[in-house]
Structure 1
């Protein structure tokens, strides 16, 4: 599809994108969308009237957005699906003979998970800043294969440590990647289309595990080893295919025309009120602003608290189901988590979609905490299997939307490409710390009621709710403060006139033109 210059009918919705200080606004019926582009290699949206202008109507904008969706979302979603399956399959392997074959006792399983989370946390931000998604995916696939040949806790810990090193950049790297393609309002809903792979991985992983475990062997591999071999082979194959189908940014996408590239870049660039660069160089000042952005830190804290629950579901859902239905077969226990995961997948798409339509993320961050609280009250209040089983549906429906909602909220509150990568990496790193905490909330001695794990999750989800409400109130207060002339004067005073543009961009959220978005 080529974008073309033309006149617009009175029924078409059009918009202006006009440069560093541009705001996205609805114009008169006969207006048009303008994207200004400088240069052939280095492109930026500016307000210069001397450069070519691409005119795009509302209908063509929708067509181009769909084209981008179809080329971007499916390949990264499938890669992330198998990343999640590779990460969570150890939970299925646990009840399929892993502990017996490797002679794991006591808290050995928790130690194995800790080895994974150690590298998973340490390399979150570095992997995001320097990520190569396809190298990461191929490394994860190869290490999944290596898991199948581990013979003791020591080799298993080493393999899972390196798996965490590679996997650390997958989630924040893809979130950062999507932010290059979509403006703020659309980012959360598109992010949800790949983050939904986390609960779907639980559902699909359970189905895959039950199917694989129905086999007598896969080559010379038996029982839980078959899970990692099948998953690893598929993951490696998808990584190789992705090398030829995934492009780093609109600038390198061969399936976009020059006019389409200009338009996609302009849509994203129009929301950066003090930035002229689409892809900027790595800057310590901007990285620091992204990491220590108040919304980044606060949202990251919420994500940490919620991931205490998400980590428990990811690695212990089959174990929890076994305590609810101890007399069921192993295959049946692998299948039981599938329906709650499917419900979680539905809400993972629903909440961010509503956030996109309403242009609000934080309200759904607040609402999503409520079913989690209800679910853990149910788990603590009774040992009736049917009620405890129903509680998992409540928990899953609230937990899984947070990945898309939190990343969308953070991405909307940074300006430069560098700050966005650092901010998203910080959020995911803090969330991963929650997963590490969750490992030690589910100990064998607390089985089968797991009061420590359930009680901790009730507390963390309640605190997350309170923090989200306080963040909402603070943003409203600070935006009001930013509307005062005193702050504008104070923040820009003393800038070096010769370097004013670069220094203004480095201010990020401290620039007086900036306003928080929730």
Structure 2
């Protein structure tokens, strides 16, 4: 290994080490399994994006396992209760929520919609705030906020109060999903990220299953303090979220350089392996600027991937909010608790596939083809909902829908993360992806209307169209990425970069001539 190789050599000969320009991120001397020079502020790739870092796979594997143990469980549990606090209104609806709050007509749909108004408006500001504040503080703080809002929901007395609380719940939850995805991108390589995202997003279907079990158990209680009936669901689950957020303040850390549970050598290796995938970048945690934020949003792959997530989220959130209602129409003779329990099995199946699909993606180191593969079973499920009134077949169709829809979250967030370069662009790209996804959530709140009961032909038709649209857009995007990569192969990176400063090169992001789309 030769340190400090000049820029004109081929990537095969350049197995150069590097050090971080930001002193917070370590000096990279003597890191286990990676070799670094003492020079500071160097890029970890050549001008064509080839890594210049040698990493010992055994040392890297040990480090990855340690990161998995310390980072993933906390964010997964926080997201579990984030989704429970969002979707438990569906369980409360099976009790007397509508009667007690005097909801009529489309009031319930409006109550669901107001959550997404707050969520969408604050999505990108929350993502920027997460980078500015640091995920180690931002994620527990926003969890504390939506836990408090869940408790407040237990005390609302009318539709107006409920709308106010649900709006604030959306504001606090806005930064959670993109914040966690952005946080994990600071720790994992591109090929590793999809699976780790799935390990927290799997909490969405598990929240549906666990939320149904928890709600049925809570409703068996006579009271919880001064709370009765559906109010206990919000109160107990909100208090649990508050407790977990306080633990999060103690366990989460912003990035590898600030992790007390890593040695200095492990910190250096953790930063080195992430940096080696970021073409033209001399630092992992860069300073935020408007140009890089725009690069993350106005990126063609980010935009169209986000639009597929919008369509995907119509089905995800529709299932979360209306699964109890759909089950109630299939089995009207069942008790409230039995109906709650019948919502659990489809979510268990969904949880299994939410991890299986990213595992396949991890093996292939591809995301777009897996996004495409997720669509057909969902489409078949909604075709069955439309084609039959048989309760058993409809219940079976719910399992087909659950198989693939929840995998859209980790796959799309991982895809936008893989196709930007800088840390700043990544924060805005993930925020934009989730923002558009939750526009889909807003649409879903009006897809299952009371006037459409009990067969919900309009709602099921909208979801079928959404899953079909996802398939078409994802397929077209894959074809475009391959064609554009072929055009990029003909460019001369050295000529195009000649005369540019290091800052100008870093600001290019996906427009860097050596950058290639990662399908």
Same fold (TM over 0.5): yes
Alignment correspondent of 1:506: 507
Alignment correspondent of 1:270: 276
Deviations 1:412-471 (A, max 9, x none): 101000000000000000000001011111110100010000001111111110111111
* Structure 1: distance between partners of 2:4 and 2:453: 61
Deviations 1:124-164 (A, max 9, x none): 11101102111100001111100000000000000010010
CA contact (8 A) 1:312 1:439 kept: yes
- Cα 1:295/1:260, change in 2 over 3 Å: same
1:103 aligns with 2:102: yes
Match of 1:301 among 297, 307, 326: 307
1:212 aligns with 2:218: yes
Alignment correspondent of 2:384: 378
- Cα 1:18/1:456, change in 2 over 3 Å: farther
- Cα 1:54/1:503, change in 2 over 3 Å: closer
* Structure 2: distance between partners of 1:454 and 1:55: 52
CA contact (8 A) 2:17 2:36 kept: no
Alignment correspondent of 2:125: 126
* 1:24-423 paired onto structure 2 within 5 Å: 36-38=19-21, 40-43=23-26, 49-51=37-39, 57-131=56-130, 132-423=138-429
* Structure 1: distance between partners of 2:485 and 2:53: 34
* CA RMSD of superposed structures (Å): 2.6
CA contact (8 A) 1:83 1:167 kept: yes
- The Cα of 1:33 is off from its aligned counterpart by 10
- The Cα of 1:223 is off from its aligned counterpart by 0.7
* Structure 1: distance between partners of 2:199 and 2:24: 31
CA contact (8 A) 1:176 1:420 kept: yes
CA contact (8 A) 1:85 1:201 kept: yes
CA contact (8 A) 2:17 2:37 kept: no
- Cα 1:450/1:19, change in 2 over 3 Å: farther
* Structure 2: distance between partners of 1:114 and 1:323: 22
Q: Moved runs in structure 1, 4+ residues, more than 4 A?
A: 15-22, 31-35, 42-48, 51-56, 488-493
- The Cα of 1:500 is off from its aligned counterpart by 1.4
CA contact (8 A) 1:20 1:275 kept: no
* Structure 1: distance between partners of 2:83 and 2:428: 22
CA contact (8 A) 1:120 1:164 kept: yes
1:281 is paired with a residue of what secondary structure?
coil
CA contact (8 A) 1:44 1:266 kept: no
CA contact (8 A) 2:4 2:37 kept: no
* Structure 2: distance between partners of 1:397 and 1:18: 50
- The Cα of 1:39 is off from its aligned counterpart by 6.3
- Cα 1:411/1:39, change in 2 over 3 Å: closer
- Cα 1:463/1:157, change in 2 over 3 Å: same
CA contact (8 A) 1:298 1:467 kept: yes
- The Cα of 1:61 is off from its aligned counterpart by 1.6
* Structure 2: distance between partners of 1:20 and 1:324: 69
Match of 1:442 among 436, 445, 448: 448
* Structure 2: distance between partners of 1:57 and 1:362: 29
2:466 is paired with a residue of what secondary structure?
helix
Structure 2 length as normaliser, TM-score? Answer: 0.91
CA contact (8 A) 1:45 1:269 kept: no
Structure 1 length as normaliser, TM-score? Answer: 0.91
CA contact (8 A) 1:21 1:274 kept: no
Provide structure 2 residue ranges, at least 5 long, that are not aligned to the other structure: 30-34, 41-51, 131-137
- The Cα of 1:334 is off from its aligned counterpart by 0.6
- The Cα of 1:216 is off from its aligned counterpart by 1.3
* Structure 2: distance between partners of 1:490 and 1:82: 52
- The Cα of 1:17 is off from its aligned counterpart by 11
- The Cα of 1:115 is off from its aligned counterpart by 1.1
Deviations 1:266-320 (A, max 9, x none): 0100000111111111111111011011110010010001111111111111001
* Structure 1: distance between partners of 2:459 and 2:352: 25
- Cα 1:17/1:72, change in 2 over 3 Å: farther
CA contact (8 A) 1:415 1:508 kept: yes
1:41 is paired with a residue of what secondary structure?
helix
1:432 is paired with a residue of what secondary structure?
helix
2:96 is paired with a residue of what secondary structure?
helix
